[in-house]
């Protein structure tokens, strides 16, 4: 199964359409009944998440009727869809509003993510910023590009390697368990500057465009990482799980680090993750 250039354009338009129709009209305009807790007060779902995912899924099913569609919000109803990504002939993975806590708080740091996998390999990824209208698109073997709302396009490139005390980075230690949580949080003081966006879409855009040197996560749900990992790799970076193995569709455990190159990755793993 192959994905054509026209398919990529179609997928990008799907995300933009959902942003215009379902996400941005609700931004800073949510009622009390439009927001619900999933597992905690910081793990939320809004009507924008649900309706955007439904809209994107319907468009995908119409164009690719035999494809597997894995949406973050639909996952609760059928958890078998995630391991099925390892072998699916064609699959689409959707995060309708990545950074839902930020979105619900009125902070414009959120994004819509979509990854395309073919037989267990991510072949395309799209990250759309509904607030700014910018879109990152990555195609395996063809690079990663940022398309601005006004049509300007630029190729993405990761940051140059640097000493740890000169690196800018972020590790999602807030989602980790002890003792990893405290150890990694303390080790972040070794970096020059740290960020915590609570939004994979922004983190992968920052690391793929060279604005940050490294990012890391313990939680590996596919809608948070597949599109971003491909964008980072196509921008020249090195991404691997904590144990050094590649991250593949269908995997949900093991932790992950993205850095400019393998040597930088090893440095972050040793000095920040501490393993």
Reported as a single tens digit per residue, the pLDDT across 38-81 is 888 888 999 999 999 999 999 999 999 999 999 988 898 889 99
Does 72 count as an annotated binding residue? Answer: yes
Does 224 count as an annotated binding residue? Answer: yes
Would you say residue 1 has pLDDT above 80? no
Q: Are residues 177 and 231 in the same domain?
A: yes
| 241-260 per-position pLDDT tens digit | 999 999 999 999 999 999 99
Does 98 count as an annotated binding residue? Answer: yes
Would you say residue 217 has pLDDT above 90? yes
Q: Are residues 13 and 138 in the same domain?
A: yes
Q: Are residues 181 and 260 in the same domain?
A: yes
Question: Both tokens of residue 82?
Answer: 């995630």
Q: Are residues 17 and 103 in the same domain?
A: yes
First to last CA, the chain: 39
Q: Domain boundary residue among 155, 173, 205?
A: 155
What residue numbers bound the domain in which 230 lies? 164-272
Quote the pLDDT of residue 155: 98
Q: Are residues 175 and 131 in the same domain?
A: no
Instruction: Kindly indicate the confidence band of residue 84, based on its pLDDT and cuts at 50, 70 and 90.
Output: very high
Question: Both tokens of residue 158?
Answer: 């990761």
Task: Please state the domain count of the chain.
Answer: 2
| 257-270 per-position pLDDT tens digit | 999 999 999 999 99
pTM for this predicted structure: 0.96
Q: Domain boundary residue among 134, 155, 176?
A: 155
Does 95 count as an annotated binding residue? Answer: yes
Q: Domain boundary residue among 123, 155, 187?
A: 155
The CA-CA-CA angle for residues 182, 186, 187, to 5°, reads: 115
Quote the pLDDT of residue 175: 81
């Amino acid at each position: 199964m192959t994905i054509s250039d026209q398919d990529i354009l179609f997928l990008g338009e799907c995300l933009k359409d959902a942003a215009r129709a379902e996400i941005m009209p609700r931004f800073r305009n949510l009622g009390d009944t439009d927001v619900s807790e999933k597992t905690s007060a910081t793990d939320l779902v809004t009507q924008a998440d649900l309706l955007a995912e439904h809209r994107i899924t319907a468009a995908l099913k119409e164009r690719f009727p035999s494809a597997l569609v894995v949406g973050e919000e639909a996952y609760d109803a059928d958890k078998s869809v995630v391991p099925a990504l390892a072998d699916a002939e064609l699959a689409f993975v959707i995060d309708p509003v990545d950074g839902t806590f930020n979105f619900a708080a009125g902070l414009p740091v959120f994004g819509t993510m979509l990854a395309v996998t073919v037989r267990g390999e991510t072949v395309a990824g799209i990250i759309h910023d509904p607030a700014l209208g910018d879109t990152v698109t990555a195609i395996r073997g063809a690079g990663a590009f940022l398309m601005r709302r006004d049509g300007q396009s630029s190729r993405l490139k990761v940051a140059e390697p640097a000493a740890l005390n000169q690196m800018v980075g972020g590790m999602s230690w807030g989602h980790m368990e002890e003792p990893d949580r405290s150890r990694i949080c303390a080790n972040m003081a070794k970096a020059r500057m740290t960020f915590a966006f609570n939004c994979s879409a922004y983190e992968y855009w920052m690391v793929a465009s060279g604005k940050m040197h490294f990012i890391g996560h313990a939680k590996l749900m596919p809608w948070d990482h597949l599109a971003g990992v491909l964008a980072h790799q196509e921008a020249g970076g090195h991404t691997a799980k904590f144990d050094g193995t590649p991250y593949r569709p269908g995997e949900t455990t093991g932790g992950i680090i993205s850095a400019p190159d393998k040597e930088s990755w090893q440095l972050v793993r040793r000095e920040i993750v501490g393993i």
